[in-house]
Chain A
Amino acid sequence: MISKTVFLSRPCRFLTAAVVAALGLGLNLSAIGQSGSPAAAPPGTLAWGAGGVHIATGSSASAPAANERSAQKGSAGLNQGIKMHGHWIIDIKNADGSLAHHHEFENSIQYDGQNYLIGLMSGYGAAGLWEIYFSSVGAMASTSPCNTATYPYCAIVASTTAQPGLFICNGLYTCATGLTITPTFGVGPTLTLAGSIVATQAGSIGFVGTGMSACGGAAEGNGFPASISTVTPAACYTSTTTSFSGTATSTTLASPIPVASGQIIQVTVVLSLS
């Protein structure tokens, strides 16, 4: 943990994540044998909350929407925004490849997703790798489909030698590589994340999230870069440090998806705008 504390002092956002979990939740894990319910980390820190889930804290739950000044607004202005959708498809397959369950649902942007997008649009961050992660409701060790690491989460990453996989797959989450990250620029452009992982125990999927990363320059007081990034996306895809990271989208399922040990969990997340 000492080395992780040093790591936290750098602007590598993902790396701050599990420290709170390791410190704060480690006690819970020791005390009750499993993680507690998701809880906020101390204000002003980016961290993983209870059970190791990626969280951001402070007052960042939602960015303020621009409010119209009714007395002087342009009445003919188009009063609408664009919505980003995270459409999930989860197929549970038996070891022989036969389909056991098929589920689809939408998630919502969370935590760092907003400043990540602002970071990309401003050029202060260049896009890096993504990640899919999930667990049972409340990230319970007894019910998560993955429980071979410090925290009972499954993670599908593109690489374990670049962020975010470098960090979370170093014993924190149960990981599988092979995540593909595919943009399309046709009608209704999308960014598709896809990959699979094998359940290490019987359980259920009740919470899902996507993690993102982006690379920029040196951090200023708020932890984010102070100038336009000199890092290329291609370089960020292999980078061991990032300037933006955390949960982009997530959701909790009202009806958890049952998974048997050894079943293959195939996940596709299609991010789109409309």
Chain B
Amino acid sequence: MISNSAFLSRPCRFLAAALVAAFGLGLSQTACGQSATSQPPGISATGAPRMGGGPLAALTAVHAPGASTAVDAPKPASSQNDAGAINQGVKMHGHWIIDVKNPDGSLVEHRDFENALEGGGQGFLIGLMSGYLIPGNYMIVMGPQSGNGACVATFQWCGIVTSLTTYPGAGYCGSYYCGTGLTVTPNLGSSGLSSGPFSLVLAGSITANQTGTIGSVYSLISTCANIGYSTTVNPTAMETSSPVSCVSQTSPEPWYGPLSQANITPVSVNSGQIVQVTVTITFS
């Protein structure tokens, strides 16, 4: 955490992820008795996930995901803009379904909603498109906006992972209450070479170990680059490892952190209830 300030000084967009949560939620979490000083890399003072090793200091409007649109959008030269060109982009959607069930399987509450790409998520996607990053495992993280979460370990956050020993699980599950069994399923077309729908589905469940709420949710990604996670240097060249090797990579430390995030009307969960989550990522 000492290097956090240095981390912010470089133009690493990955860092934007949980800074709002770090500032906005940090005080309430501290008030709830959680430690604000013992968080490991990738976890903010509130326990919210962020880019591995990322900082908490100096959040600026530029880095706030909600403010990024105006800053980041390419701006055509007004005098020479081709107004007739099709001026549209592709949208990435993260559609969440959260079902809270009793131990007997009966449904208590169903929620579905859309999330937004985190600031860091933009960097991950650019990295994947350039070949500077390759994907590893994913993770679903759920926590309270305030008060008790549905899970408690060091922090009051639930994590659903494919593995506790590989990233991002290895980075978070020492501090989060985690369950394994996350599935990551791409749909690259069902009939014909290019027929959709095209989606990436993250799905899993966890049993709450305390009574609390879920008000903030994240999808996390772990990626590998030509260099291990650094607070001072971004990936500098094409990755020379394959995606299959990144799934199980633990060293050098991958680049991991939030891909998407949403704050929702808090969902009440009783200890022992099952929280089933499905996140469907699509483009349109």
Interface centre among A73, A86, A225 (most CB of B within 10 A): A73
> In the bound complex, do residue B283 and residue A63 qualify as a contact, i.e. CB atoms below 8 Å apart?
yes
Return A123 CB to nearest CB of chain B, in Å.
3
* Chief secondary structure at chain A's binding surface: mixed
- In the complex, chain B residues whose CB is within 8 Å of the CB of A60: 189, 192, 194-196, 198
Quick one: given A233-B238, A252-B86, are A121 and B282 in contact (CB under 8 Å)?
no
Shortest CB–CB separation between residue B114 and chain A, in angstroms?
5
Contact B262–A78 (Cβ < 8 Å): yes
Q: A253-B84, A255-B82 are in contact. Are A118 and B283 (CB under 8 A)?
A: yes
Shortest distance from the beta carbon of A48 to any chain B beta carbon, whole Å: 13
Q: Which residues of B contact A76 (CB under 8 A)?
A: 113, 263-265
Q: Which of A26-34, A109-117, A168-176 contacts B (4 or more CB under 8 A)?
A: A109-117
Residues of chain A contacted by B161 (CB below 8 angstroms): none
Place the interface of chain B in its size category: 35 or more
Q: Is the CB of A81 within 8 A of B116?
A: yes
Q: Are B135 and A122 in contact (CB under 8 A)?
A: yes
- 1/0 per residue A176-220: CB within 8 Å of B? 000001111111111100000000000000000000100000000
A84 interface hit (Cβ, 8 Å)? yes
Given the interface contacts A59-B196, A114-B198, A121-B281, does A127 sit within 8 Å of B128 by beta carbon?
yes
Which 5 pairs of residues, A with B, have the shortest CB-CB distance? Answer: A254-B84, A77-B113, A186-B11, A66-B95, A233-B131
Interface CB pairs A-B, < 8 A, 19 = A44-B195, A60-B192, A60-B195, A63-B196, A65-B284, A66-B93, A66-B282, A81-B116, A82-B117, A105-B81, A117-B92, A118-B188, A126-B243, A186-B13, A188-B13, A188-B71, A191-B129, A224-B189, A232-B240
Enumerate chain B interface residues (CB-CB to A < 8 A). Answer: 10-14, 62-63, 68-69, 71-74, 76-77, 80-96, 98, 110-117, 121-123, 125-132, 134-136, 184, 186-200, 221, 234-235, 237-247, 261-265, 267, 280-284
Q: A interface vs B, CB < 8 Å? A: 13, 16, 43-46, 56-60, 62-69, 72-88, 102-109, 111-115, 117-124, 126-128, 181-191, 212, 222-225, 227-237, 246, 249, 251-255, 257, 270-274
